[in-house]
Amino acid sequence: MTPTGPLRSKDKRLFVRGVFDGIAGAYDLLNHLLSAGADRRWRRRTIDALRPLPGWRILDLATGTGDLGLNAAGREGRIRVVGVDPSRRMLQRGMDKAAKRPVTMVFCTGEAEHLPFSDGLFDGIVVGFGIRNVTNLHAGLHEMHRLLRPSGQAVILEFSRPRVFLLRHIYAFYFAHILPVIGRIISRSPNAYRYLYESVMAFPEGPAFCQHLADAGFVDVVERRLTFGIVTLYRMAKAAGGGGQ
């Protein structure tokens, strides 16, 4: 099964969880290989954009194997990170990595639309390459807004499509035809990297996604494209005195 065509919410959740459970063992290797190592730089830029302060509590939503959250937890100032993901196998990989580092990061399973945390608990929220996998984007963004404290900051890192015509077509060809073959050989998962292509092509990037963020209640939304537009950083805030939604 692939996610092309309409799927019920439960079907998509099960599909996405199965995809990431299936590639958990090869996920980090494939990220580094298929991005030529740029994924490490993109994650550093994400935490740099968040600008966490000492003592912050950060939510790493769709944490996967924890690389983004571990980057944040490794910054100076006793930063505490909670990583949440629906894939237990991905989380186990993250826990294994965290156990080898002097950081404060805990992991738990959860869906972006319904998280077991109180309003305004987090000073910062980050999402790396996971927002397009949220079944109900509207609900997921409102949940992020609810969990962020007033004046708190959030940064989302997500794939996007280059705007330069030639590069856009080269990128689309690579995503559609080359990346799935490499991913299938290494991860032995025939659907995972086909799904990556389909989900990136369907995601409402750029100004359209910025409007989704504004509709969820975020303010000061800024979009910054990196590496010729292959990925985009979205930085936003919760208004001072802003309540949960």
pLDDT tens by residue, 224-236: 999 999 999 999 9
Q: Which residue has the higher pLDDT, 168 or 56?
A: 56
Region 6-20: what's the mean pLDDT?
77
- The pLDDT value given to residue 194: 84
Query: Residue 53, CB half-sphere, CA atoms under 13 Å: how many?
Result: 5
Kindly report which listed range (47-61, 78-92, 163-177, 183-197) carries the lowest average pLDDT score: 183-197
CATH class of segment(s) 9-161+204-238: alpha beta
- The pLDDT value given to residue 10: 66
181 confidence band (pLDDT: 50, 70, 90):
confident
Domain boundaries, the chain: 9-161+204-238
CB 161 within 8 A of CB 175: no
Residue 49: pLDDT above 90?
A: yes
Region 157-169: what's the mean pLDDT?
92
* Percent of the chain clearing pLDDT 70 (strictly above): 94
3 confidence band (pLDDT: 50, 70, 90):
very low
86 confidence band (pLDDT: 50, 70, 90):
very high
Quote the CA–CA distance of 147 and 238 in Å, as a whole number: 10
- The pLDDT value given to residue 2: 45
Average pLDDT of the chain?
92
Taking CB atoms within 8 Å and a gap of at least 24, the contacts of 201-206 are: 201/161, 201/172, 201/175, 202/132, 203/131, 203/132, 203/158, 203/159, 203/160, 204/137, 205/158, 205/160, 205/161, 205/232, 206/160, 206/232
Quote the CA–CA distance of 198 and 95 in Å, as a whole number: 29
- The pLDDT value given to residue 8: 54
